Amino acid sequence: MLEVWLSYTSVLAAARSSTEGNNPHDSILGRVGAVASGVGFVCITSAKDEMMEYVTLGKTGLRVSVAGLGCGGNSRLGLGRGKTEAEAIALVRQALDMGLNLLDTAAAYGTEALIGKAIKPVPRDRVVITTKALINRGSTPIPPVRVVESLERSLRQLDTDYIDVLQLHVVPPAMYDHAFQTIAPVLLREKEKGKFRALGITETSPNDHEQRMLQRAVHDAVWDVVMLGFNMMHHNARTKIFPHTIAYNIGTLLMFVVRNIFSQPGRLTAKMQELAATGQVPQWLADTDNPLGFLLHEGGASSVTDAAYRFVRHEPGVHVTLFGTSEPEHLRANIASLLKPPLPEADRQQLAALFGHLLGVGLELPDPTTA
């Protein structure tokens, strides 16, 4: 991809003149890789694609796309759906061609080597790699030497000299002291050797609905990045986490944004019926087959999943929204949603009124029957 750094106004002028009498797909809009604007960077990869948006990932200083490609889950870039390694690599490269530059993997995902192959033709400083190491097996802590060995394996698998963000993976509240007091000091010595650039920690969303682990972690300066669950029916981070990540300039990576509840209408209907039966939501939400239909209107969302991505993307304190996929069409649709404007304020207020008190909704582990 040819990348030329220009002012926002000059690139628009060049784009207008370049399309006169020519195929627009051959214009500068199809060739310019990145544009500097007053609020950050946007990337134009094709006349048919949206302009990617970028933010600074908190105190890491890393410039990252607002859309991040999750390389785990049941899909594992399609490997879990019967796709070939070549197809998975092509998917990653398509995401990079669309301006997405953050790839989130983990030692436990089994996709690090694939990511290493996918990014081989790309200048290393043009892609942000986040990976993870486990620090416990159930109630048994993993000693620091084994965590360092995991880091070393990740470097070999990814075939890279350094990792941008190393995260401690799915840390439950009971393991936070082990993470902070025992593992972090050892890893910071590895950071000094240049093996990674920033240290992060991820919650175990399905088992920590109140985000008790992160409520402690956000007050400890050792963490540069946190990964957490947040979605249209699980707003806990709005008051418990984001005010602190903003105050301490901690980068945020979002997960559990869509999952099964917002991508499968039957799941959403069943959940509304369950919540209404216990008085947690109004009965009218259980009496319809389309309980979030109020979001779908002129000037609003085009689908429930579109609403889900737009809801989290523009939440104060959010940097990167992660999603997984095995299909190019799904990739394009998710990125398109994340680049749309916020939901109308009236819709956001209604979501807060209806669901702001809920905990843990939509934090189920991935369904192995879905992509």
Question: Catalytic residues, which ones?
Answer: 109
Q: Which residues contact 69 (CB under 8 A, 6 or more apart)?
A: 77, 92, 95, 100, 102, 103, 104, 322, 323, 324, 325, 331
> Which position has the token pair 């992160």?
214
DSSP 293-320: GGGBSTTSBSSHHHHHHHHHHTSTT--E
Residue 198, strand partner residues: 165
Going by the DSSP 8-state scheme, the letter that residue 44 receives in this structure is -
Quick one: how far is CA 240 from the chain centroid?
A: 19
Determine phi and psi for 15, rounding to 5 degrees: -65, -40
Distance between CA atoms of 66 and 346, rounded to whole angstroms? Answer: 24
Residue 201: strand pairing partners: 168, 226
CA–CA separation, 93 and 314 (whole Å) = 26
Contacts of 240 (CB under 8 A, 6+ apart): 210, 211, 214, 215
Give Cα separations from 9 to 22, 29, 273, 291 (angstroms).
21, 13, 52, 43
- The length of the chain in residues reads 371
**27: helix, strand or coil:** coil
Spatial separation of the C-alpha atoms in residues 147 and 167, rounded to whole Å: 11
How many Å apart are CA 254 and CA 252, to the nearest integer?
Answer: 6
Backbone torsions φ then ψ of 187, nearest 5 degrees: -65, -35
- Pairing type for strands 163-171 and 196-203 reads parallel
C-alpha 209/C-alpha 144 separation (Å) is 27
